[in-house]
Amino acid sequence: MTRIRPFQPGDEPALAEICLLTADAGADATGILDDDELWAQVFVLPYVERHPELAFVVETDDGRVVGYIVGTPDTAAFEDWFHDEWWPERGEPWPRPEAEVSRQDGILIYAYSRRAGAEPYSAEYPAHLHIDLLPEAQGQSWGRRLIDTLVAALRERGVSGLHLVAASDNVGAVAFYPRVGFTPIPSHPGVQAFAKTL
């Protein structure tokens, strides 16, 4: 029976693959960047390293992981940790580009720029999340259940608010988040941010 369970060590390759297969506004991003590995090193693996207790996966009855949610209760602290510890150890294969010529350049500039205060949402909504589901797991309420699971874990920790950011062209995501209690908030060009008071 398909179920949600806590992240456990050894799930990382599956999470990295799901991240890649959904990174292009919900579609397969394989081959879009020069190095497919970059997606997971920025958008999912740091979260399970820093906050494994706030990571949950959807596991099928045959043991495959087909979706996940990861988060941090304190965006400012997480971004400083990413900047000071995670990225210096992981980012060496990808030097900081001088200009944003390609999509990979844009992701790298973002990665090198991450630190507390770089995003405007965390003062009022200190937690943030990333969630991804393979197509086979979509449309079956797993996204809603993953969010409910993370929200419950954050509330247990006394966290007051949660935000996330989706690409503006990810039509499915932009339509989904208001249905699960998130409100659109002012955002940077090219993205739509959503927030929820806990």
**Res. 120 pLDDT band, cuts 50 70 90:** confident
- Give me the pLDDT at residue 137, please: 95
Which domain covers residue 46, as residue numbers? Answer: 3-197
54 CB-contact burial (10 Å; exposed 0-12 / middle 13-18 / buried 19+):
buried
pLDDT of residue 188: 84
| Mean of the per-residue pLDDT values of the chain | 96
pLDDT tier, 119 (very low <50, low <70, confident <90, very high otherwise): confident
Residue environment code for 136-149, b if the CB has 16+ CB neighbours within 10 A, otherwise e: ebbeeebbebbbeb
Q: What is the count of structural domains for the chain?
A: 1
The residues, any chain, with a CB within 8 Å of residue 104's CB and separated by 6 or more, are 33, 34, 35, 38, 94, 97
Task: List the CATH number of the domain containing 140.
Answer: 3.40.630.30
* pTM tops 0.85, yes or no: yes
pLDDT in tens, 27-85: 999 999 999 999 999 999 999 999 999 999 999 999 999 999 999 999 999 999 999 99
What is the pLDDT, as a whole number, of residue 97? 96
Q: Residue 198 — pLDDT band, cuts 50, 70, 90?
A: very high
Cα gap 54→74, rounded to integer Å: 12
Provide the percentage of residues in the chain whose pLDDT is more than 90.
90
| pLDDT of 129 above 90 | yes
Residue 189 has pLDDT above 90, yes or no: no
